Amino acid sequence: MQRSNVILGLLAAGVAIALITSIGTFRIVAESQSNSSSKNDEEITELLIDMKSMMARMNERMDMMVERMDAMMENMDMMMGMMMGDMMDPMDDMQGDTMEDMMNQEPQDVRIELKSGHGKVPVGKETEIVIAVLDKESGEPLEGLEVLIHIERGSSMSSMEMMGDMFPAEDNGSGEYIVRFTPDGEGAYTVHTMVMIPRKSMMDNHMDFSIIAE
């Protein structure tokens, strides 16, 4: 509605300018007519009739333009509503997937297995964990991948207290990747493991492993 009011204001201003110009022209013509003995009142009357006809045509055109603009605004509002609806639908789907659901889903393209380092580990000493990454269909080991690790104190997503930043596991060949970290206190630790696959989200191939330090 605000856009319609602005456009209508501009149109009204244009009409006013046209009327002022026409009135000025009429005055010049009228003065010229009064100073000329060859012109009479009938010619002045014809000019007035022509001006009224012109104003009537301008009003009709203005009404048509207003109707067209209203229709355009309605179409724009409808299109905006459809666009906003399309944008909100994916967000609604995302809201339905909780973080816990994302963490618990199985990897889509690979199998991630803990080969060593599971169970109980000593506090204050560097712990070495070996993770195997295999093709989900064939079971063949996958080398040369980027495997990102994030260590969380506590069980998965319970504390959100991370030990430093995310870091890459060391590629040891034959589909094995080594993770080293030092538990700084007793209790559970979660090793968030994310295998990076081209054109895939890191959460598409994610696995959590739990370790107890004592």
At 21-47, the pLDDT tens digits run 555 555 555 555 555 555 567 777 777
Whether 101 maps to a domain, the answer reads: no
Question: Mean pLDDT in the chain?
Answer: 77
Confidence of residue 96 (pLDDT cuts 50, 70, 90): very low
Whether 102 maps to a domain, the answer reads: no
Cβ neighbours of 195 (radius 10 Å): 25
pLDDT for the residue 55: 81
Whether 136 maps to a domain, the answer reads: yes
Q: Are residues 87 and 146 in the same domain?
A: no
CB 214, CB 120: distance < 8 Å? yes
Whole-model pTM: value is: 0.52
Whether 163 maps to a domain, the answer reads: yes
Final residue before a domain boundary, out of 75, 96, 117:
96
Q: Are residues 159 and 188 in the same domain?
A: yes
Task: Calculate the CA 129 to chain-centre distance.
Answer: 39
Q: What element of type H or E holds 195?
A: strand 187-196
Whether 186 maps to a domain, the answer reads: yes
More reliable by pLDDT, 98 or 119: 119
Type of residue found at 89: D
Q: Are residues 17 and 56 in the same domain?
A: yes
> Which residues on neighbouring strands pair with residue 192, listed in sequence order?
150, 208
Enclosing domain of residue 202:
107-213
Q: Are residues 112 and 154 in the same domain?
A: yes
Whether 111 maps to a domain, the answer reads: yes
The mean pLDDT value for 52-67 works out to 80
Q: Are residues 79 and 161 in the same domain?
A: no
What's the CATH code of the domain at 135?
Answer: 2.60.40.1930
Type of residue found at 108: Q
CB 197, CB 185: distance < 8 Å? no
- Number of domains composing the chain: 2
Of 170, 185, 193, whose CA–CA distance to 107 is shortest? 193
- Reply yes or no on whether the pLDDT at 72 is more than 90: no
The mean pLDDT value for 146-174 works out to 90
By percentage, how much of the chain surpasses pLDDT 70? 64
Q: Are residues 204 and 111 in the same domain?
A: yes
Final residue before a domain boundary, out of 96, 123, 140:
96
pLDDT for the residue 93: 47
CB 128, CB 180: distance < 8 Å? yes
Confidence of residue 95 (pLDDT cuts 50, 70, 90): very low
Q: Are residues 127 and 82 in the same domain?
A: no
More reliable by pLDDT, 65 or 144: 144
Q: Are residues 83 and 166 in the same domain?
A: no
Whether 11 maps to a domain, the answer reads: yes
Q: Are residues 195 and 173 in the same domain?
A: yes
Confidence of residue 99 (pLDDT cuts 50, 70, 90): low
Instruction: Give the range with max mean pLDDT: 12-16, 34-38, 80-84, 188-192.
Output: 188-192
Whether 201 maps to a domain, the answer reads: yes
- Reply yes or no on whether the pLDDT at 74 is more than 70: no
